[in-house]
Amino acid sequence: MTDSRHALIIANDRYADQGLRKLKAPAQDATALAGVLHDAQIGDFEVEVVSNASADTMRRHIQRFFNDRRRDDTLLLHFSCHGLKSESGELYFAASDTEPRLLDATAVPAQFVRGCMSRTKAGRTVLFLDCCYGGAFSRGSTSVRAAGDVNVLESFTTERPVSGRGWAVITASDSMEYAFEGEELAGNSAPRPSVFTHAVVRGLGTGEADLDADGEVSFDDLYEYVYEQVREQNPNQTPKKTVEMRGDLRLAHSRRGRIKIAAVPTPASLRAALDSDNVLTRQGAVLELENRLRDESLPVAEGARQALVEVAGNDIRQIAALAHRALREIRLAPSPDRLDFGLVPKGSPCQEQTVTMNGPPLAGHCVAQPTEPWLRVDPTADGLEVRVDTAAEGHLSGDIALKGVADEAVIHVEAVVGPAHEPAPPTGPASETPPGTTPRQREPGQGVHDRETAIIESPPSPPSPPHSHKPPPARHLAHEPPSSPSPARKPPTAAPPSREPEPPASPPPRTSTAPPRDANRPRLAPALAGAALALALAVGAVVTLVMAVRAAAVAIAERSDQGVGGSIEDKIHEQGALAPLTVSLITAALALVVGAFARHDLGRRRERYSPRAASGTRTLTSVAKGVAIPVLVLAVLMGIAYLVGSAHW
């Protein structure tokens, strides 16, 4: 995009007044929205984020944001905070120091924002309001009261912009509706993204908001997408919009555009061969088109593909089959089609893996569209480079949709972003604390594990005389029970050589060099054993099925030798074919059940598994399933054949 694009995100989730609920979503919403807007391949905005600011600071940033703009500028202002209505019916945006009884002095009036939007010389201005209007009041609060319904859009439609080409407004909810944060409005639970802002971020980041697949996300595209997403998540919340703008506004790029290749027409001689009455001539033409399909030039290959599609749909079966076989070569074939990044530390550099696109050049020509904002995909010479953003902690699961000229495919991606692990403190003389220093405790915020593990180092004692065998200073972990505390005392003085040192008041610390066990480290869980058991049962089902088949074959042979007087049922019983068949049925079913339980445990308690254990569990259960299902089907068919045939043979 060639125009100048600027975004200001205002996010307030903490309020000094006790009557205003503390919001959970604005902080992480601001980070996520800033990411997609700033991305050069998506929004390409210059982004400024203002968090938990006072009303005076908010007004300064807003006015500075709209000042000194040009006609070709595009401005985007996003509010994520409480919206309040005064007794006179005016709308205000709550700041961190807002006092509900002093809205004029401690909040930002919507009229002030509207005035800044009207006076700016920017050609296009977009306003996103992710505010909860009725939900701004705590239960039982006497200092904050709603003053009737508030129609948000009326605050921005009473006058037209003075200059520029206009503005557009999308609000998360109108009147007294809540702007929901996940399943709840507010509380003390873990932060969840706002339903509205999450839909905006997802629609822009993944390109799903590009409803007409023209490669651009327009304002109308985004509103329609957000409206459907919000209403699906919460039918009680209705996004609204108003537009005072000439022309269409493009908010972001999208990779969901249709693949368009200007095809080189089929040569006249080849076209004549395709129209020949001679079957062999047409067959030779199809083979030539197959060669052109592998051409390095995409327009040449696309021309051959279009001709082969026509042949496959119109020619006789023999020629059409050749065309279908040629077209199968350009099917999307990503390798691998499943990526598992395993356990990665939170905040670490983006993890990368490579996907190779197999087949001729036309098969590798596709558009890759991630379904989650934390997925990043970049094309390479022979495939794709997939990266995972490690900013968010938890189990991440998403897909990359691939669109080719005539085919689609999906690459599944999984990752577990866990707490960052700090390097172990160095040991040896260099790590000892100099004499005279006080005990030091690591300050909170220096690592992800600070709330769980605090390293406390005791100062070393002065050098002991020879043969005193003084134990080294102890280092304790806060989550392990330290030795019993003893009152502080002065460092002991050197004792005479003939006198034995006194025993310490507390047991000496462990001198083992083995690192303490990390309680958060993934460990082996029962699902891996269950997966192994499922595979063993599947193998047992195969063995017993083979025994049953062998006994049944002998019984059938003996029955055939007896002629009319023989009975297949008697021979089956004599050879004992039913017992292994029954065992095969049971063990195959058990293998499927045990494997299902193992996969369920892996998905429910994934944090208990190391990446190797998780990968082994998935592999074993997949193999067990692939073995058990055919065995179960064959065993059932044999049982049905016995029940039906024994009465007639």
Residue 461 within a domain: no
Domain match, 43 and 152 both = yes
pLDDT at 345 over 50: yes
Domain match, 347 and 364 both = yes
- 468 contacts: CB under 8 Å, gap ≥ 6: 495, 501
In terms of C-beta density within 10 A (0-12 exposed, 13-18 middle, 19 or more buried), how is residue 115 classed?
middle
Q: Which of 371, 392, 418 is the last residue of a domain?
A: 418
Which range (158-172, 227-241, 288-302) has the least confidence?
158-172
pLDDT at 258 over 80: no
Looking at residue 159, its pLDDT comes to 53
| Maximum mean pLDDT: which of 6-10, 232-236, 272-276, 470-474 | 6-10
Average pLDDT on 574-579 reads 81
Domain match, 534 and 396 both = no
In three-state form (DSSP H/G/I as H, E/B as E, the rest C), the secondary structure along 221-266 is HHHHHHHHHHHHHCCCCCCEEEEEECCCCEEEECCCCCCCCCCCCC
Q: Which of 397, 418, 439 is the last residue of a domain?
A: 418
Q: What is the number of alpha carbons within 13 Å of residue 262 lying toward its C-beta? A: 0
Indicate the pLDDT class of residue 360, thresholds 50, 70 and 90.
confident
Looking at residue 17, its pLDDT comes to 86
More confident residue, 604 or 169: 169
Looking at residue 564, its pLDDT comes to 60
Percent of all residues in the chain with a pLDDT value above 70, rounded to a whole number:
71
Residue 459 within a domain: no
Tokens of 465: 């005389």
Domain match, 557 and 604 both = yes
- Considering only CA atoms, give the Rg of the chain: 35
Average pLDDT over the chain reads 75
Residue 464 within a domain: no
Could you give the CA distance from residue 160 to residue 125 in angstroms, rounded to a whole number?
Answer: 12
Percent of all residues in the chain with a pLDDT value above 90, rounded to a whole number:
15
Residue 108 within a domain: yes
Q: Which residues make beta-bridge pairs with 312? A: none
φ and ψ of 82, to 5 deg: -80, 145
Residue 428, Ramachandran bin (φ over 0: left; ψ between -120 and 50: alpha; else beta): left
Residue 477 within a domain: no
Domain match, 390 and 322 both = no
Indicate the pLDDT class of residue 461, thresholds 50, 70 and 90.
very low
Where are the extended beta strands (E) located within 118-187?
124-132, 166-171
Looking at residue 62, its pLDDT comes to 95
Could you give the CA distance from residue 556 to residue 563 in angstroms, rounded to a whole number?
Answer: 11
Domain match, 274 and 306 both = yes
| Maximum mean pLDDT: which of 4-8, 211-215, 230-234, 520-524 | 4-8
pLDDT of 171-216, one tens digit each?
A: 887 654 555 555 444 444 444 568 888 899 988 888 888 887 777 8
Domain match, 321 and 346 both = no
Looking at residue 108, its pLDDT comes to 93
- 506 contacts: CB under 8 Å, gap ≥ 6: 483, 484, 485, 486
Looking at residue 24, its pLDDT comes to 67
Domain match, 160 and 304 both = no
Indicate the pLDDT class of residue 95, thresholds 50, 70 and 90.
very high
Could you give the CA distance from residue 606 to residue 590 in angstroms, rounded to a whole number?
Answer: 23
Looking at residue 648, its pLDDT comes to 61
Domain match, 241 and 297 both = no
Residue 393 within a domain: yes
- pTM exceeds 0.85, yes or no: no
Looking at residue 57, its pLDDT comes to 95
Average pLDDT on 564-586 reads 79
Report the number of distinct structural domains present in the chain. 4
Domain match, 285 and 345 both = no
Residue 444 within a domain: no
pLDDT at 554 over 90: no
More confident residue, 556 or 501: 556
Q: Which of 387, 418, 449 is the last residue of a domain?
A: 418
- Can you give the residue range of the structural domain that contains 239? 4-253
Helix (H) or strand (E) holding 418: strand 408-418
CATH of the domain at 381: 2.60.40.60
CATH of the domain at 215: 3.40.50.1460
Domain match, 206 and 108 both = yes
Domain match, 162 and 278 both = no
Could you give the CA distance from residue 188 to residue 190 in angstroms, rounded to a whole number?
Answer: 7
pLDDT at 256 over 70: no
Looking at residue 87, its pLDDT comes to 78
